[in-house]
Copies of this chain bind each other. A is one copy, B any other.
Amino acid sequence: MIKGSLTIEDVAKAAGVSRQTVSRVINRRNNVKDSVRKRVEAAIDELGYVPNAAARRMGGARSYLLLAVIGRGAGAAGAGARTGRLPLDAMLLAGLESCSAAGYHILFEQLETDREASHAQFNRALTALSPDGVILTPPLEERVDLRASVDHRNIALECLGERVEFGRAVPGIDDGALGESATRHLLKLGHRQIGFVTGSSDPRRSDRRLVGYRRVMAQSGSRAHRHFTADGRLGFAEAVALAKSWLAPTIRPTAIIAETEEVALAILDVARELKIAVPRDLSLLSLEERASLSRATPAVSALFQPYERLFRSCCEKLIARAEKSAAPDPDDAGDAFELIERKSLAKAPRVV
């Protein structure tokens, strides 16, 4: 049988108080006498009462729901994680963890491609669910219309990361800094001829990374970025061809930054074929982290954006705001990027 649903009323009766008092207890209000609170808590435990989320929402309070929005082409497709995309599985798990700890729940919504249609879809989700917070994942943070919708409904919003553009802080992961950071790392190892191979599924992000790379290269006085750079979005085959055209001549890069795992692995293959020893003759750095990099020979180092951590942090901030509690310690934000040093990085060879 369906048990007629255990309600706040049942608990109130059992504890001999009004349901409002029970409500105060479950919402951790501080205006309840300790002895009463204990009595109520005991009743809750004994009956196994759990407040109903929908009813709470109806009461005019929070919905205890967070909404994470992803674009088409985010995450994996088919079998295994595709390259150049969001690590959805890790993000989901991170979200579940931070939410369940606080009694929240997280929902995902994947937006259609069409701009207008996706906006409508977004609005629909917003009003149907009335979440307490929304997370816009890359590259959706650029969608001003979506941000406006959230704002208009007075819902808390978070995006993954933040960067400075034209002197202003804008939401979104700092791809430029990633490009810079990777380039600097290689420069520090003595490399001057550093190449950059794109491959991400999002050309705008590729461009920003490329800009960061070029900036640092120019500053360093190297001109390699004029030769060893691919401008457009590259498929796997083009990446291979490009790598070959770079690595076959005598004057070639001593280090390459690969935007994706796939491209990194492709370059590794090309190097092996051309009998260029990695890392002795060629250093390789991937801007995307995947398990397969650690199993390659040699294992490929990666400098990457901590999506999982960023996502978790978004959830926590949103929950904190909803609970009106202090925001989680910003100190634990950690580094902007994570570096996993494996076997593909070495000092630049003496002779180029």
Chain A residues in the interface with B (C-beta under 8 A): 1-3, 5-6, 48, 50-55, 57-58, 63-64, 75-83, 87-90, 92-93, 96-97, 100, 103, 105-110, 121, 123-125, 127-130, 152-154, 261-262, 265, 269, 289-292, 295, 297, 302, 304, 308, 340
Residues on the B chain within 8 Å of A110, using CB: 93, 96-97, 100
**Least Cβ–Cβ distance between A283 and chain B, in angstroms:** 20
Most chain B CB atoms below 10 A, which of A50, A89, A127, A262:
A89
Taking a contact as CB atoms under 8 Å apart, the answer to whether B50 and A54 are in contact is no
Q: Residue on B with the closest CB to A154?
A: B2
A262 partner, pick from B82, B83, B128, B295, beta carbons under 8 A: B295
A89 partner, pick from B5, B89, B289, beta carbons under 8 A: B89
Number of copies: 2
Residues on the B chain within 8 Å of A88, using CB: 88-89, 92-93
Q: Residue on B with the closest CB to A266?
A: B295
A80 partner, pick from B5, B77, B291, beta carbons under 8 A: B291
Taking a contact as CB atoms under 8 Å apart, the answer to whether B290 and A129 are in contact is no
A90 partner, pick from B53, B54, B77, B125, beta carbons under 8 A: B77
Residues on the B chain within 8 Å of A109, using CB: 96, 100, 105
**Least Cβ–Cβ distance between A95 and chain B, in angstroms:** 9
Docked pose: A302 CA to B79 CA in angstroms = 11
Q: Residue on B with the closest CB to A5?
A: B127
| Given A58-B58, A265-B295, A127-B80 contact (CB < 8 Å) | no
Can you list 28 contacts pairing A with B, beta carbon distance less than 8 Å?
A1-B152, A2-B153, A52-B127, A52-B128, A52-B130, A53-B128, A54-B57, A54-B58, A55-B58, A58-B58, A76-B87, A76-B93, A78-B90, A79-B290, A80-B291, A81-B89, A82-B291, A87-B89, A96-B109, A96-B110, A100-B121, A105-B125, A105-B129, A107-B107, A262-B295, A265-B295, A269-B297, A292-B292
Docked pose: A325 CA to B131 CA in angstroms = 29
Taking a contact as CB atoms under 8 Å apart, the answer to whether B105 and A90 are in contact is no
Residues on the B chain within 8 Å of A97, using CB: 110
**Least Cβ–Cβ distance between A310 and chain B, in angstroms:** 13
Residues on the B chain within 8 Å of A78, using CB: 90, 291, 308
Q: Residue on B with the closest CB to A306?
A: B79
Docked pose: A75 CA to B304 CA in angstroms = 21
**Least Cβ–Cβ distance between A173 and chain B, in angstroms:** 16
**Least Cβ–Cβ distance between A89 and chain B, in angstroms:** 4
Most chain B CB atoms below 10 A, which of A77, A90, A109, A265:
A90
Docked pose: A340 CA to B265 CA in angstroms = 21
Taking a contact as CB atoms under 8 Å apart, the answer to whether A80 and B292 are in contact is yes
Docked pose: A276 CA to B322 CA in angstroms = 61
Docked pose: A125 CA to B104 CA in angstroms = 10
**Least Cβ–Cβ distance between A170 and chain B, in angstroms:** 25
Residues on the B chain within 8 Å of A51, using CB: 128
Most chain B CB atoms below 10 A, which of A55, A79, A83, A90:
A79
Closest 9 CB pairs of A and B: A80-B291, A80-B290, A76-B89, A54-B57, A88-B89, A79-B289, A292-B292, A54-B54, A89-B89
Residues on the B chain within 8 Å of A128, using CB: 50-53, 64, 103, 105
| Given A48-B123, A80-B289, A53-B129 contact (CB < 8 Å) | yes
